[in-house]
Amino acid sequence: MTTHESPEAPTTYRGAVYPWQCDHIGHMNVMWYVGKFDEATWHFFTGLGLTPSYLRNENRGMAAVQQNITYLSELQAGDVVVVRSRLLEMREKVVRFQHEMTNAETGEVAARTELTAVHLDRDARRACAFPEALRADAQKHVSDETGD
């Protein structure tokens, strides 16, 4: 399987697999896939306007409510990875997006994850609407491709 590149899928993470991230059989452990995807998420959110400053200044937060991961090929110590992300859906209070992790050397897709997250009012401890301007701008970037 090869990587699926498109203008709607910007790079949101680049990194390497380190020996301490590997399990007893020499492959990157699942916890590190999640960690690298999490780092990509914050870069992706910043691109949508959900910047650290916005979240702090407006007392907002983001919470994942669902994550599904598909592991497609193994990564080993020394492999360099790239994560590309695409917006799948932006609703009033909910965002759904996908990350695809590829081996930078081979172009092989290592894993793909789809996440659903909600926008939170940290005072009320409840989901709240995204600012209309942010949602309207993000809507322009919705991709109907899922990379499958």
pLDDT tens digit string along 54-88? Answer: 999 999 999 999 999 999 999 999 999 999 999 99
Say if residues 112 and 72 touch (Cβ distance below 8 Å): yes
Residue-averaged pLDDT of the chain: 92
Q: Taking the domain 11-139, which CATH number applies?
A: 3.10.129.10
What type of residue sits at position 56? R
Say if residues 2 and 107 touch (Cβ distance below 8 Å): yes
CA distances from 40 to 13, 122, 126 (A): 5, 23, 24
The ranges assigned to domains in the chain are: 11-139
Under-50 pLDDT residues of the chain? 1-7
